[in-house]
A and B are shown apart, each in its own frame.
Chain A
Amino acid sequence: MSRTTRISARFAVLQDQSRKAFVPYLTAGDPDLATTGALCRMLAEEGADIIELGVPFTDPIADGPTNQRAAQRALDRGIRPDGILELVRALRSEGFALPIVLFTYWNPLRMLLQLGGGYDALAGIDGILVTDLPPEHGEEHRAACAAANIDTIFLAAPTTPAERLPGIAAATSGFLYYVSSKGVTGARAELAAGLEADVGAVKAAAGALPVCVGFGIGTKDVAARVCEVADGFVVGSALGNVIEKTAEVGGDVVEAARDFVRRLDPR
């Protein structure tokens, strides 16, 4: 694919430097949007390559308890997708340069597009990952994203049969997201056995497309193992746990998260 996005540009640089991508996930609006913005800046300072911003949804069936609670807190605060887009625009206007991926369920995205003027109104968003939109249902979404120069990140999972991989790869741009284990999001102490072989198969199908691995990556050891086989690693719930625990006791969320990221990053 010849078009360039912030995501593809970032991976081009990483590949030149033989580096792996660190992709942190934040539930947007938890504990509040200002803190989400501050966390984004901190993560850029600490060497993150791509930010995933989670759109809170009432019924996040792919998420474990940490992300569920974060989404519920954000919804209780009245966080809406238009507010998240406003935050992204504000970050861009101050020169925030990292690619931003919207991590969302289909229903809130669908309504945001209806209310907010479609894909062209998503300025500042570089990629979209829709947890519950398989490529078979995502053809219109993919075409509209391509027209708006937004990458479409689809997922492969340990249950994905080999014959589905080419179709998933063909629908994907930016990077392909491999779900490390059977289960919902949430930090785990160990990676699934056979991850290396599974990632190998996904990479073979993905061709030139980078493959990042997420779900369950919460320690330096696990991240290091992922970096041996994949092009990047996603950290969500483990970071969310730090944010949650620090916010609960009124601590400095950004600094606690910074400390965690420094200890976690194996690169």
Chain B
Amino acid sequence: MSTHGPFDDAGRFGPYGGAYVPETLVAPLQELATAYAAARVDPAYTATLDGMLASWGGRPTPTTFAARLTEELGGPPIWLKREDLNHTGAHKLNNALGQALLAHRMGKRRIIAETGAGQHGVATATVCARLGLDCVVYMGEVDAARQALNVFRMKLLGAEVRTVSSGSRTLKDAINEAMRDWVANIDDTFYLLGSALGPHPYPTMVRDFQSVIGTEARAQIVAGAGRLPTTLVACVGGGSNAIGLFHPFLGDDCAMVGVEAGGRGVATGKHAARFEGGSPGVLHGTRTYLLQDAWGQVLETHSVSAGLDYPAVGPEHAMLADDGRIRFTSVTDDEALDAFHRLSELEGIIPALESSHAVAWVIREASSMDPEGLILVNLSGRGDKDVRQVAAIEGVEL
């Protein structure tokens, strides 16, 4: 068997990516890269993954024409890729299942994961329950408080949730803690990273697992609308739902828009808009765009959406941004909250606050777009998890 390493060209996205990790992790990343390369060409592995995604996960998810939203905005037709209908309520399961089956193959019985909004933690806890693997999820204290429902869901699924009280007590610190756990428990532990970030092979592997979104959507929209979309839209935290939608369309003539969390406005400094407010740097093992101060210290971020509240972004997005292939922009907390309501009322779909960012961009821009175009939005998750938080923000007692 050929070996694949953390420093392969495959882990490089132009000047981004790589594996900036402590020496202890180099060999485990090599083992992971090699195992993944073998698994992805093994028909038995892919058949198991595809079979479970279908019979247990509920794939394929549909692509829905948003008729009332389209009419209201008066722009091009808007279609939604419905990852909210995936088992556990978001796209996260696609990757969690792929990696957990890989862990199983590698003989690793203990799974660790980080989570921001809790969706990746829930997806990981879910697949671990199904496959009989031990599961520990790291979650920042701030996120655990605003996503208490997901914390309880993970516990119901048999996972241990460890809250992280260091640093900004959000996703970034949960990743720090998960990486520390991995370094200490390398022999029996598989780090099931939840987004297209971190050291190689994670950005590539997570992209591959999430590309099922774009592959399905491409066929569905051709069947449903009779043509390809002209604009793809997705929210971008780490960027796994976005790269999953975009990647299968890279060869097509369509615009791609990545929507970051503008928080209270980029000018206030309270945001997670890495492309507008950041610069290239190294965090969590990868070189990418990063919110940092002049001395390379990582800045705290703000977003109403825990899943977008992260100071770095997947390295492939960094390359595609530099290339001009993906246009990155941001919407504010307020715009996202407005979109949360509008999609609920107009389409009968309560979107996750993360996905609400993508919808918000469409609400802002659709009326000025060519009506002959076709917009495809990745509705990456459903908003059930966010209902309590939105009620609290709006002063509604439940």
A17 close to B (CB within 8 Å): no
A164 close to B (CB within 8 Å): yes
With A107-B283, A111-B294, A132-B285 known as contacts, the answer to whether A155 contacts B176 (CB < 8 A) is no
User: Complex formed: what's the CA distance from A61 to B283 in Å?
Assistant: 10
Which residues A161-180 have CB closer than 8 A to chain B?
Answer: 161, 164, 168, 179
Cβ contact within 8 Å between A179 and B296 = no
Interface residues on A, range: 35 or more
Interface stretch of the complex, out of B22-30, B87-95, B119-127: B22-30
With both chains docked as a complex, state the minimum distance between the C-beta of A74 and any C-beta of chain B, in angstroms: 11
Cβ contact within 8 Å between A161 and B22 = no
With both chains docked as a complex, state the minimum distance between the C-beta of B276 and any C-beta of chain A, in angstroms: 19
B350 close to A (CB within 8 Å): no
With A132-B22, A160-B27 known as contacts, the answer to whether A108 contacts B183 (CB < 8 A) is no
With both chains docked as a complex, state the minimum distance between the C-beta of B213 and any C-beta of chain A, in angstroms: 30
A112 close to B (CB within 8 Å): yes
- Residue from A62, A107, A155, A168 in contact with B296 in the complex, judged by beta carbons closer than 8 Å: A107
B18 close to A (CB within 8 Å): yes
Cβ contact within 8 Å between A59 and B285 = no
Q: How many A-B residue pairs have CB under 8 A?
A: 117
User: Complex formed: what's the CA distance from A160 to B22 in Å?
Assistant: 11
Cβ contact within 8 Å between A134 and B19 = yes
- Residue from A106, A107, A112, A182 in contact with B24 in the complex, judged by beta carbons closer than 8 Å: A182
Chain B residues near A3 (CB-CB < 8 A)? none
User: Complex formed: what's the CA distance from A75 to B299 in Å?
Assistant: 12
Cβ contact within 8 Å between A155 and B20 = no
User: Complex formed: what's the CA distance from A155 to B187 in Å?
Assistant: 19
Chain A residues near B179 (CB-CB < 8 A)? 61
Chain A residues near B172 (CB-CB < 8 A)? 59
Cβ contact within 8 Å between B296 and A108 = yes
Cβ contact within 8 Å between B23 and A112 = no
Cβ contact within 8 Å between B298 and A59 = yes
Chain B residues near A136 (CB-CB < 8 A)? 6-7, 19
Cβ contact within 8 Å between B7 and A137 = yes
A110 close to B (CB within 8 Å): yes
Cβ contact within 8 Å between A107 and B26 = no
Cβ contact within 8 Å between A110 and B23 = no
Nearest B-chain residue to A182, judged by Cβ: B186
Cβ contact within 8 Å between A134 and B23 = yes
With both chains docked as a complex, state the minimum distance between the C-beta of A200 and any C-beta of chain B, in angstroms: 18
User: Complex formed: what's the CA distance from A155 to B281 in Å?
Assistant: 22
With A64-B180, A107-B298, A132-B285 known as contacts, the answer to whether A59 contacts B167 (CB < 8 A) is yes
- Residue from A72, A131, A137 in contact with B166 in the complex, judged by beta carbons closer than 8 Å: A72
Chain A residues near B7 (CB-CB < 8 A)? 134, 136-137
User: Complex formed: what's the CA distance from A168 to B23 in Å?
Assistant: 10
- Residue from A64, A81, A115, A159 in contact with B28 in the complex, judged by beta carbons closer than 8 Å: A159
Cβ contact within 8 Å between A57 and B186 = no
Chain A residues near B298 (CB-CB < 8 A)? 58-59, 107
With A106-B282, A133-B20, A155-B23 known as contacts, the answer to whether A115 contacts B180 (CB < 8 A) is no
Chain B residues near A154 (CB-CB < 8 A)? 23
- Residue from B21, B23, B297 in contact with A58 in the complex, judged by beta carbons closer than 8 Å: B297
User: Complex formed: what's the CA distance from A182 to B181 in Å?
Assistant: 10
Chain B residues near A81 (CB-CB < 8 A)? 295
Nearest B-chain residue to A155, judged by Cβ: B23
User: Complex formed: what's the CA distance from A64 to B296 in Å?
Assistant: 21
Which residues B178-214 have CB closer than 8 A to chain A?
Answer: 179-180, 183-187
- Residue from B18, B21, B185, B281 in contact with A110 in the complex, judged by beta carbons closer than 8 Å: B281
- Residue from A59, A115, A182, A183 in contact with B295 in the complex, judged by beta carbons closer than 8 Å: A115
Chain B residues near A80 (CB-CB < 8 A)? 295
B284 close to A (CB within 8 Å): yes
A256 close to B (CB within 8 Å): no
With both chains docked as a complex, state the minimum distance between the C-beta of A153 and any C-beta of chain B, in angstroms: 11
Cβ contact within 8 Å between A160 and B26 = yes
B292 close to A (CB within 8 Å): yes
With both chains docked as a complex, state the minimum distance between the C-beta of B185 and any C-beta of chain A, in angstroms: 8
User: Complex formed: what's the CA distance from A25 to B325 in Å?
Assistant: 46
Cβ contact within 8 Å between A110 and B19 = no
Most central of B28, B292, B295 by chain A CB within 10 Å: B295
With both chains docked as a complex, state the minimum distance between the C-beta of A71 and any C-beta of chain B, in angstroms: 10
With A159-B186, A160-B26 known as contacts, the answer to whether A57 contacts B166 (CB < 8 A) is no
Which residues B148-196 have CB closer than 8 A to chain A?
Answer: 166-167, 172-173, 176, 179-180, 183-187
16 A-B pairs, CB-CB below 8 angstroms?
A57-B296, A59-B167, A59-B283, A61-B180, A61-B183, A62-B180, A72-B166, A108-B297, A112-B296, A134-B20, A156-B23, A157-B23, A159-B28, A182-B185, A182-B186, A184-B183
Using a CB–CB cutoff of 8 Å, the interface residues on chain A facing chain B are 57-64, 68, 72, 75, 80-81, 105-112, 115, 131-134, 136-137, 154-161, 164, 168, 179, 182-184
Using a CB–CB cutoff of 8 Å, the interface residues on chain B facing chain A are 6-7, 18-28, 166-167, 172-173, 176, 179-180, 183-187, 281-285, 290, 292, 294-298
15 new A-B contacts at CB < 8 Å, known A57-B296, A110-B281: A61-B180, A64-B180, A107-B281, A111-B281, A111-B294, A155-B22, A157-B22, A157-B23, A159-B23, A164-B26, A164-B27, A179-B23, A179-B24, A183-B184, A184-B183
